[in-house]
Amino acid sequence: MSNKRSSQFLITFIFCGISLFLSCQNSSGPRTDEGDAATEVFDRPNILWLVTEDMGQFIPPFGDSTIKTPNLSRLAAEGITYTHLFSPSGVCAPSRASIATGMYHSSIGASHMRTTSYTDVTGLPPYEGVPPPETKMMSEILRSHGYYCTNNNKRDYQFQAPVTAWDESSSFAHWRNRDEDQPFFSIFNFTTTHESGLFEPYGFRSNEMRHYQAGDTSFTFPKGSARLTEAETPVHVSKDLDFPIPPYLPNTPLVKRDMWKVYNNIAEMDRQVGAILDQLEQDGLLDETIIFFYADHGGPLPRQKRLIYDSGLLSPMIVRFPDKRYAGTKDNQLVSFIDFAPTAFSLAGIKLPSYLQGQAFLGAEKAAQPRTYIHAAADRFDGFTDAIRAVRDQRFKYIRNYRPEQGYYLPVVYRERIPTMQELLRLRDEGKLTEAQAQWFRSSKPEEELFDCDADPHELNNLIADPKYKDKVDELRTEMDRWLTDIGDQPNLPEKELITQLWNGSDEKPTTAAPAINKNGEQVVITCPTPGASIGYRIHPATGPTSKTWSVYTDPLTVTKGVELEVSAHRVGYVPSDTISLEL
């Protein structure tokens, strides 16, 4: 097939894992620093998301000049830098649940990190988030509107994706496998910057080499370790740089080494982003593509990841439009991950489903007014539970701690593999932490907190008791109460009771009913009695290759004799149905 398309522009999102393709004629443009809003409309554009993990705004386009990132800096120079993008959680899977469904993770039972593991600690059965029946994965909706949807390759949504979610989801999934002139939505995930990239022994993941293979499924990964050794790992950044160390971390040689890893990993990720951009150029698509780059939440270090301070929520985002329009501009409006699904649909010309909890910030259905607030929630992380909610406007953040009797620090085993975490614990035990560093280890928390995020970006000075901010506290309290009621969030609800609600009072995970296949002449109608179930089907010809991809069933099928029809149904959060086969 030809990858050259003269009539459509490609929109690419570089995110923590999602991609969008759009045809460009006119669409609501960005708000710049001056508040201008251009209008453009897009007709079925391609969508590409390039997503990195565990990375705050640690790159030059966001004011951190510690290292050079030529590919991301080029994107920023040719596009829009969004300065106020926030994840709804400080960890990946709940945030991905919000992205994939367009609903807050804390409203669909997806707020507790790792719901299918740590059962020996929690004493709970494995379970998944269960959105309302009308909810579909964002990619399935795009597929049902003709998009070729690929995910390369991380999922981790707090639920099992139905077979209808993707045309391809693998280490080599790529837009290049679509039909000619078919719009696509493609995600490329970059895991080099993940928290585990700080573990010892240090070295890049060898499977990240997939990004250089352009979807070549004949490529084989190097034999041996899943990681390169430190000697094999490219050194992009001098270890002698003066790395910025936030005041809540100790300035010691061990921490400096971790900071070097952080920036060296970012530099390698930038090189991988460049490889994908090179493939777009090779296909003649770069200037027919809108590119979104973002991270799945804030930084990887202690007191960053998993927390709902800005260090855990604030993510970089860059959007590059075709023909470099809006080049070099900044957009300071508040944006949440919950806005990604409505924005993708808005750009693709798809009517926004009523269940979405966010608003579009681009496209034909762009919201009339930008956000006033963003919201976040933190609950269980691996084997340790807390209950925290936050609301933030352009300047202030209000935090409500539902378990003030316990401290902020949770002894998450995975995090304690980071040398900086080990250093913090050593200095804590020796009584050598500074006041700023010791805050995280307090034995209890205040019930409420208020931070001026402009004057106090590390959120160390709690203003909740200052009478000067009473009106702001009242405003943000009211907004939090409104949000919790609006989305049906129940902070501090025991997880066992949450599961009972998700499973409609049953002790067992609900199962999607088997689909029914009814044939009337050449017409085949497929139904499933489970409300909200997605139905996938495959048609296997009597001769020739068997289809590997499940199609999304939306309308009756016209089939010929001598083929086999394979059907499966799945509602998100339920056990999938048995697969039904019928020879026609």
Active site residues: 92
Residues with Cβ within 8 Å of 220's Cβ and at least 6 positions away in sequence, in order, are: none
Using CA of residue 362, residue 368, residue 371, residue 375, what is the dihedral sign? Answer: negative
Contact 276, 212 (CB under 8 A): no
> Could you tell me where the DSSP H helices lie in 351-505?
419-429, 435-438, 470-487, 495-502
Place of tokens 């949440």: 336
Q: Give the type of residue at 185.
A: F
CA 191 – CA 198 distance, rounded (Å): 12
Summary count for the chain: helices (H), strands (E) = 11, 23
CA 65 – CA 380 distance, rounded (Å): 35
For residue 323, CA distances in Å to 117, 329, 390 come to: 47, 14, 39
- DSSP structural state of residue 377: E
For residue 143, CA distances in Å to 140, 147, 193, 358 come to: 5, 5, 30, 21
Closest CA to 569 of 525, 518, 528: 528
Burial degree of 417 (CB within 10 A; 0-12, 13-18, 19+): middle
Residues with Cβ within 8 Å of 399's Cβ and at least 6 positions away in sequence, in order, are: 308, 388, 389, 390, 448, 449, 450, 451
Contact 8, 23 (CB under 8 A): yes
CA 31 – CA 45 distance, rounded (Å): 21
The three-state DSSP-derived secondary structure of 123-160 is: CCCCCCCCCCCCCCCHHHHHHHCCCEEEEECCCCCCCC
Strand partners, 535: 569
Burial degree of 579 (CB within 10 A; 0-12, 13-18, 19+): middle
Edge-to-edge strands, sheet with 516-520: 516-520, 523-527, 557-558
